[in-house]
Amino acid sequence: MKRIFKKFLIVLGTVAVTTSCDKNPDHAVYDLVDDPESGAVLRTLEVVNSLLNSSDPDSTFEVLIEEQDEQDGGLMESVDLYVTLNDRTADNGTTPPSESLVKTFPAASFTTGPLGLPRATISATFGETVSAMGLGPDEYSAGDVLVMELRLNLTDGRVFGAKSSSSVLSGDYFKSPFRYNALLTCSPEPGDYIVTMQDSYGDGWQTNGGNGGDGITIDIDGVIIEIGMCTPYEANDYDCSEGDGSSAQTIVTIPVGTVSASWTFPGDQYGEISFQVYAPNGDLAFDSGAPGSVSAGLLPIVVCAQ
């Protein structure tokens, strides 16, 4: 029988770091770079937006970062934003990846944050990224991914980017991956989207919680809808869909005039969940595959308005 867990929500506002005089090589901080005395990182404070609407050239990728170096920001010269197209839609041909510089953010454009370190919002519009790559409208489509990479330039000539980022840098503590995926979307086709849901164990969905968890969220121009299959273990805090524990179905309505709609999956605690999304015309828009196949995060559900 499946173990039942109570769900706890822990909100981490700040992280305290304790250091000592002896530099223990086993401490995680020394995995940052080969020389911890002279390394530098860009810490992700918030990914403000990672969706770019191909129907809107002003749709903007934004990430709030904080720079750290051995002189508390004194070594920073600038941060470059590069973009590469990851063509995931073969029906319009395949555009080979080509890295392009979008813009440069000088150190003077950063402000001092509450920890005394420089921080800034790095941003680029869809129009700017396409222009930098020199791509025409037939060379990209909704469903592709724009890979955004930051490179930190220091005054002594050194450059830090994704290639210098270790697993420790890109983990939950330092949050310094230097690289972000921006999903290319479009204004969605309005109408009723049918979502069929399955659970291979037969006890409803256990997503990011052992007793149930959150549902799939759909952000429709800032209005959040949450869907999922009910579980008998605890009362869901959203309007879940009743079924027999193994299957259920619901409808998500996208209103006429919607500019953006994004779907986010919370996770699969036991690898038992699968689901399909059908567009208003009945076509299959997304299939999660076998139970446990889909990871938490944004779902590539793209049905463009005609």
Please give the mean pLDDT across all residues of the chain: 83
Helix (H) or strand (E) holding 131: helix 126-133
Task: Please count the other Cβ atoms lying within 10 Å of the Cβ belonging to residue 290.
Answer: 10
> How large is the average pLDDT for residues 236-240?
90
Long-range contacts of 111-117 (CB under 8 A, 24+ apart): 112/73, 113/66, 115/66, 116/72, 117/66, 117/67, 117/68, 117/72, 117/73
pLDDT 10s digits, 104-140 = 999 999 999 999 999 999 999 999 999 999 988 888 8
Q: Is 48 helix (H, G, I), strand (E, B) or coil?
A: strand
* Whether the model pTM is above 0.85: no
pLDDT 10s digits, 170-183 = 444 344 578 999 98
CA dist 40 → 70, 112, 164 (Å): 7, 17, 10
Token duo for residue 197: 């849901």
pLDDT on residue 306: 76
pLDDT on residue 8: 27
Long-range contacts of 17-23 (CB under 8 A, 24+ apart): none
pLDDT on residue 94: 62
pLDDT 10s digits, 73-113 = 999 999 999 999 988 776 655 666 678 999 999 999 999 99
**Over 90: is that where the pLDDT of 152 sits?**
yes
At 27, is the pLDDT very low, low, confident or very high (cuts 50, 70, 90)? very low
Token duo for residue 164: 């210098």
Token duo for residue 264: 């986010």
Residues β-bridged to residue 152: 79, 160
Helix (H) or strand (E) holding 251: strand 247-254
